[in-house]
Homo-oligomer: A and B are copies of this chain.
Amino acid sequence: MSKITFLGAGSSVFAKNLLGDCMTVPALQDFEIALFDIDHDRLKDSETMLKNIKKNLGSTVEINSYTDRKDALRDAKYVINAIQVGGYEPSTVIDFEIPKKYGLRQTIADTVGIGGIFRSLRTIPVMMDFAKDMEEVCPDAWFLNYTNPMAALTGSMLRYTNIKTVGLCHSVQGCAHGLLESLDMPTDNVQWKIAGINHVAWLLEITRNGEDLYPEIKRRAAEKQKTKHDDMVRFELMLKFGYYVTESSEHNAEYHPYFIKSKYPELIDRFNIPLDEYPRRCVNQIADWENMRDDLVNDKDLTHERTHEYGSYIIEAMETDIPFKIGGNVLNTGRLISNLPENACVEVPCLVDASGVTPTHVGDLPEQLAALDRTNINTQLLTIKAAMTGKKEHIYQAAMLDPHTAAELSIDDIIAMCDELIEAHGDWLPEFK
């Protein structure tokens, strides 16, 4: 019996989506689904929920919970990772509140930026532990990483372990259609091509019946920017740099030095930027959990329709050898994107089938897009270097190279802020020298 192990199974919504998806796939009906989480209550909840779904879907998978990580991983063929280290409290609160004291505001803080750096620093060691376990008990398993910061975590796995890893996000597959829908343009017969780095990948081509849609998209976008809407940062990036980016406006607002600027406070309103968005979402989620629990865990009639998350499609393609195409996060080995550094983690079209995840060759990005991506890669590579060397100086460098942090703060403030963050995160971080 083949086995899919889900690390961080206590994330009930995500477990529902990924594993519910798997239960709808004929080729996966003989699989064991192994659930693991360090929060045993949430683990139990997810197990209950998934067993309900299984019953209602008539699936024949076998669902088991594990409290020992190695047991959960033993002989797994696929490992899905959706963990979060440090949680809303204390970690997310720290990641937002300390920078705020220095005048550095954030929206999501899960990618680059000061929050992304510290989220990486506390998560990479856990990933390395996963890899050590896997090298022992399931060395041939595919590791599907959903945990952020995607580039730093996936890059660390690929550079410093032998585990076959691909990083996955849902910002690629819906990008083109989402853009067209938001501009009231038809979405049938649309061809698109996306590449870059996670959360800052670019819609390089978008055509319909062979016709380039960008001129019309930009015309409508310029019009829409005259009103207030939820995607103003992305539209601004497209109008200034020529291409649409995969991640949302609230994310991209903090990846660049252009939007959250203490010297230009009016930009927050002008571009409709939801500062502190992620902690607000966390608070709401926590508050809503009892309601949600009723919907998810306590609803015996709960069922599931397959989502667009890549996970189940990847496993299905590997099992059936019917090719599937994803936007996957992989190392830039062989310079798939030829004007980005070779040790960057890039998001490129990949072919998935029984031979695994095989990245395709992209070539050069347009110069301005490569440039923007390089500014984020700078921080990612230094963050990985900090995590793997244990040296504080590389944490400082990661932060000093972050475009938003560097634009807002002086070197002294950056270093003081990093030191304060290291102190506040305490045992959630390894020791740095």
Contacts and interface: CB of A to CB of B under 8 A. Distances in A.
A321 interface: yes
B241 A397 contact: yes
Interface in A368-400: 368, 370-372, 374-375, 378-379, 381-382, 385, 393-394, 396-397, 400
A contacts with B: majority SS: mixed
A397 B378 contact: no
A358 interface: yes
A11 B142 CA distance: 46
B336 A334 contact: yes
A335 to B, nearest CB: 6
Nearest to A396: B240
Given A258-B400, A361-B333, A381 B410 contact: no
* Of A210, A336, A360, most B-chain CB atoms within 10 Å: A360
Contacts of A240: 393, 396-397, 400, 411
Contact of A368 (B140, B343, B353, B394): B394
* Of A267, A339, A382, A401, most B-chain CB atoms within 10 Å: A401
Given A343-B339, A351-B351, A407-B407, A360 B363 contact: no
A42 interface: no
B361 A358 contact: yes
B359 A264 contact: no
Given A323-B323, A341-B339, A361-B360, A263 B262 contact: yes
Nearest to A326: B323
Interface in A400-424: 400-401, 403, 406-408, 410-411
A391 to B, nearest CB: 10
A361 B359 contact: yes
A358 B359 CA distance: 10
A367 B385 contact: yes
A371 B401 contact: yes
A353 B370 contact: no
A323 B323 CA distance: 6
A88 interface: no
The interface size bin for chain A is 35 or more
A353 B367 contact: no
B360 A257 contact: no
B339 A410 contact: no
A344 B368 CA distance: 14
Contact of A334 (B205, B241, B361): B361
B323 A324 contact: yes
A191 interface: yes
A193 B370 contact: no
A187 interface: no
A355 interface: yes
A113 B54 CA distance: 60
Nearest 7 CB-CB pairings of A with B: A407-B407, A371-B378, A191-B354, A351-B351, A358-B360, A257-B406, A323-B325
27 contacts: A205-B355, A240-B393, A241-B400, A257-B257, A257-B403, A257-B406, A258-B400, A263-B263, A333-B361, A333-B363, A334-B334, A334-B335, A334-B338, A334-B363, A338-B342, A339-B341, A339-B342, A339-B343, A367-B381, A367-B385, A368-B382, A368-B397, A371-B378, A375-B375, A403-B403, A406-B407, A407-B407
